[in-house]
Amino acid sequence: MSTRVGYSRDRFVTSLLVFAVACLTTTLAATTAPAAAQQQRPMTPEDLWAMGRVGAPAVSPDSRSVVYTVTRYDVDTDRGRTHLWLVPVAGGEPRQLTHGDASSSSPAWSPDGQSIAFVSARNEDGPQIWLMPAAGGEARQLTRVEGGAGGPVWSPDGSLLAFTSRVWVEGDEGGEAMRRLAGSRSSAKIYDDIMVRHWDRWLDGKRSHVLVIDPATGETRDLTPGPYDSPPIALGGFHDYDISPDGTELAFVRNVDEQTAVGTGNNVWLVPIAGGEPRRLSPGDGNDVAPRYSPDGRWIAWLSQERPGFEADRAVLMLYDRRTGRTRALTGDLDRSVSSYKWTPDSRAIFFNAQDEVHVRIYRVGLRDGVARPVTGDAYDGAFALVGDGSRIVVARQQAHQPTELVLVDDRGRERRRLTRVNDRLVSQLALQPVETFWHAGAQGARVQSFMVKPPDFDPAQRYPVIFLVHGGPQSAWSDFFHYRWNYNLFASPGYVVIAPNPRGSTGFGQQFTDEISRDWGGRVFEDLMLALDHALAEYPFLDDDRVAAAGASYGGYMMNWFQGRTGDRFRTLVNHAGVFDLRSMYFATEELWFPEWEFGGPPWEAPEDYQRWNPAVHVEHWRTPMLVIHGQLDYRVPIEQGLGAFTALRRQDIPARLLYFPDEGHWILRPANALVWWGTVFEWLDEWLR
């Protein structure tokens, strides 16, 4: 017996009307029966975009309050707004700090706790740093720099505030021609180096620099002059500059590679706050980012990826002793990559988070023994902030069935209280399912972890169509998170079972497992994926092996192209979002060249074998599976021609296909109205082939 699957055309057409009343419905629910007593229903795309998205926490110096951001989207205006909120650490009703049409973000407490610096574009000056009294009151504009301002970082004594801005640099040959054109009527741009665009924007000739401002006088100085991006625009850390506790020195990240599109050589540099020549601190040629001084001023920590050119190398927490000049790897024995970290106030330990299989855990490592011990358990713990001496932690926590909320835990990971409940009322109305993990044998007997998400009202006696998701990266992973683009529960909502494997290349399973996809894009990883599907179909009788679709984005989209002609009739249909089609032409059009050069052993003229061996474009005569192709015009990571190539290969051979094109989107679909069209089209396509 088959379960009815469908996202009808009528439902898609009326989706915008549904969203228009979503906020009103949520408000009225507060005056009717409790949400917990209501019958839960499947999640819709409108629900996903009605949720408030909680940002990183920042704890006040007195440890009494937490400031954080909440972003909400409006389909009617097709935009989002981010505002600052404050909640007591002891618990209580949150209070909104910023209002109005302009977004506010990046909150940073002043050391005395009297002010909060934040970024907002409230007037014609564009994004600037503003200061707000923590006790309440009107904010005042602090910076007025032409290139905008972002990322406020206070000096420990509160006398200076560091921030980033994009500036014209005198004598910068790469920017001089662009600067001359900026004052003309021409729309032309002139470049002398390879990095002409990045992600979804063309570069404008300006450089990213770190500036400092005196909040009392407004005096502003550039501390990182020169023809370099400092911090760099690519492969940066969670925060790439910091002021020493005594206020005399700035640590920052800079890349001085001759061609930044080819090298990942970010390094930590030091410069006196009073001005002077910077000196390079980190010795490696890999990627060194996110410097942080210890509170006592003795140490500088940073994150280091050792192998040049490999953006997915293991990120190790490094430690530099400012007394002795010695450097050592603090997490060298941990086979996981450090994401972000915080010093304890006594400078004796560091808390950090790292992906571990499908979870992200917070760890603690002591400087003396260098042993990293997990603090939190089976959840996805992202941004966090220490409270007081570090015995309590405010964590931005999420799981597949729970969007991000702030929770307070102790230093043993025990949850003490929920601090925010931004989405509780809406979530309580939705039939959201947790992930269920399973292990199976992959290529060469490797252990591979996958997980499954079941649809609402699941009945094990019925048989369900399967959505087989392949993640991007390829050095990435499906995790137990609440994804606002590829949401497992939303994929499952029409009556599908979602299977999401983590094959070769996935992160969080040890660096060797991550490494084993490079120069093997369609080899063992393809076997891992097929064996994951084999295992699931054999193990779970409620899966309908005659109704299976696969979907993926970026590298996952590449794998949809690779599946074509190699999987027979195994898949009824494929969904390819921003997928790589032709490896050779991809190399010459993408912007970060270190990536294909690492993955395929060099540029195509030096290492043609792997570009040919793993190239879907050379096998199009074997394609036969119907496919939905989705691509954005502003995608400069995987340019639009890759999607057009796949679509042409399909339709020229009379294979059923559809192209969903977004002229105003990049690698991701970020506008609410476009996202609703994305989901509506995907559901309509899947329903057509799986019904």
> Could you give the domains of the chain?
171-205 (no CATH), 429-690 (3.40.50.1820)
* Residues in contact with 234: Cβ distance below 8 Å, sequence separation at least 6, in sequence order: 195, 198, 255, 260, 264, 592
pLDDT value at position 357?
A: 96
CB-based burial label for 222 (10 Å; 0-12, 13-18, 19+): middle
pLDDT value at position 38?
A: 64
User: Among this protein's residues, is 635 annotated catalytic?
Assistant: yes
Other CB atoms within 10 Å distance of the CB of residue 586: 23
Across 462-470, average pLDDT: 98
What is the three-class DSSP state of 181?
A: helix
CA distance 472 to 323: 43
What is the three-class DSSP state of 423?
A: coil
Which helix (H) or strand (E) covers residue 87, if one does?
strand 79-88
pLDDT value at position 13?
A: 41
pLDDT surpasses 60 at 520: yes
* pLDDT top residue among 647 and 136: 647
**Which pLDDT tens digit goes with each residue over 625-645?**
999 999 999 999 999 999 999
* Nearest alpha-carbon partner for 152 in 138, 131, 173: 131
Q: Are strands 266-272 and 279-280 parallel, antiparallel or unpaired?
A: antiparallel
CA distance 580 to 600: 14
Q: Rg (Cα) of the chain, in Å, rounded?
A: 25
Q: Are strands 627-632 and 657-662 parallel, antiparallel or unpaired?
A: parallel
User: Among this protein's residues, is 667 annotated catalytic?
Assistant: yes
What is the three-class DSSP state of 246?
A: coil
pLDDT surpasses 70 at 688: yes
pLDDT value at position 26?
A: 41
Cross-strand pairs, 575: 551, 628
Catalytic position from the list 554, 582, 610, 687: 554
Across 125-135, average pLDDT: 95
- Between CA 50 and CA 57, with CA 55 as vertex, the angle to 5 degrees is 145
How far the first Cα of the chain sits from its last, in Å, is 13
Catalytic position from the list 83, 401, 631, 667: 667
pLDDT surpasses 60 at 437: yes
pLDDT value at position 171?
A: 82
Other CB atoms within 10 Å distance of the CB of residue 174: 16
Catalytic position from the list 47, 515, 635, 687: 635
Could you tell me the pLDDT band of residue 20, with boundaries at 50, 70 and 90? very low
Could you tell me the pLDDT band of residue 607, with boundaries at 50, 70 and 90? very high
Q: Is the pTM of this model over 0.85?
A: yes
**Which pLDDT tens digit goes with each residue over 292-321?**
999 999 999 999 999 999 999 999 999 999
Across 454-458, average pLDDT: 97
Pair 460, 401: CB distance under 8 Å? no
Could you tell me the pLDDT band of residue 239, with boundaries at 50, 70 and 90? confident
Q: What share of the chain is helix, strand, coil (3-state, %, to 5)?
A: 20, 35, 45
Range scoring the smallest mean pLDDT among 231-245, 390-404, 585-599, 603-617: 231-245
pLDDT surpasses 60 at 35: no
Which helix (H) or strand (E) covers residue 680, if one does?
helix 672-690
pLDDT value at position 562?
A: 98
Could you tell me the pLDDT band of residue 15, with boundaries at 50, 70 and 90? very low
